[in-house]
Amino acid sequence: MIPLKYNARNLVVRWKTTLMTASGFTLVVAALVVMLAFVEGVQKVCTTSGEPENVIVLAKGNNDEVFSQIDTRLASELENSRGVGRNDAGVPLASREIFLVVHRRLEQEGVFKFLQIRGVQPIAFDVHTQIRIIDGSPLRASQSEVIIGKGVQREHQLNVGDEIEMGRKSWKVAGVFEAGGSAFESEVWADLPELSSQFRREGVYSTMVLRTEGPEAAKELMTQLESSRSISCNPKTEPEYYAKQAEQTQMITSAAWIIAWFMGIGAIFGVMNTMFAAIGQRRKDIAVLRIIGFKAHEILISFLLEAILISIIGGFLGIGFGMSVNGFSRSTAIGAAREVAFAFSVTEGSIIFAACFSLAMGVVGGLLPALSVVRIQPLEALR
Q: Sketch the per residue contact string, 339 through 378, with another protein: x for CB under 8 A, - otherwise.
A: ---------------------------------------x
Burial string for 22-47 (b: 16+ CB within 10 Å, else e) reads bbbbbbbbbbbbbbbbbbbbbbbbbe
Q: How far apart are CA 65 and CA 113, in angstroms?
A: 19
Are 262 and 91 a contacting pair, CB within 8 Å? no
Of the pair 102, 296, the CB lying nearest another protein is at 296
Instruction: Give me the residues paired with residue 105 across strands.
Output: 112
Taking the complex as a whole, how short is the minimal distance between the CB of residue 298 and another protein, in angstroms? 9
Q: Which stretch binds another protein (CB under 8 A): 1-9, 26-34, 328-336, 358-366?
A: 1-9
Please spell the DSSP secondary structure of 229-257, one letter per residue. Answer: SS--EEEEEHHHHHHHHHGGGHHHHHHHH
Tell me the H-state helices in the chain: 4-13, 15-48, 72-79, 124-127, 150-155, 192-198, 215-227, 238-246, 250-281, 283-291, 296-323, 348-374, 378-382
**Which residues within the stretch 260-289 sit at the binding site for another protein (CB under 8 A)?**
284-285, 287-289
Alpha carbons within 13 angstroms on the beta-carbon side of residue 243 total: 8
Nearest to 115 by CA among 192, 191, 186: 186
- The amino acid occupying position 319 is I
Q: Sketch the per residue contact string, 47 through 86, with another protein: x for CB under 8 A, - otherwise.
A: ----------------------------------------
Residue 251 in contact with another protein, rule: CB under 8 A: no
Angle, helices 296-323/15-48, rounded to nearest 10 degrees: 50
Q: Which stretch binds another protein (CB under 8 A): 2-10, 63-71, 72-80, 239-247?
A: 2-10
Q: Which stretch binds another protein (CB under 8 A): 74-82, 192-200, 293-301, 307-315?
A: 293-301
Pick the binder of another protein from 67, 125, 257, 294 (CB under 8 A): 294
Taking the complex as a whole, how short is the minimal distance between the CB of residue 358 and another protein, in angstroms? 25
**Which residues within the stretch 4-43 sit at the binding site for another protein (CB under 8 A)?**
5-6, 9-10, 13
SS3 at position 92: strand
Are 158 and 152 a contacting pair, CB within 8 Å? yes
Of the pair 4, 255, the CB lying nearest another protein is at 4
Of the pair 89, 292, the CB lying nearest another protein is at 292
Q: Which stretch binds another protein (CB under 8 A): 128-136, 155-163, 194-202, 292-300?
A: 292-300
Residue 292 in contact with another protein, rule: CB under 8 A: yes
Residue 213 in contact with another protein, rule: CB under 8 A: no
Q: Which residues bind another protein (CB under 8 A)?
A: 1-3, 5-6, 9-10, 13, 284-285, 287-296, 378-379, 382
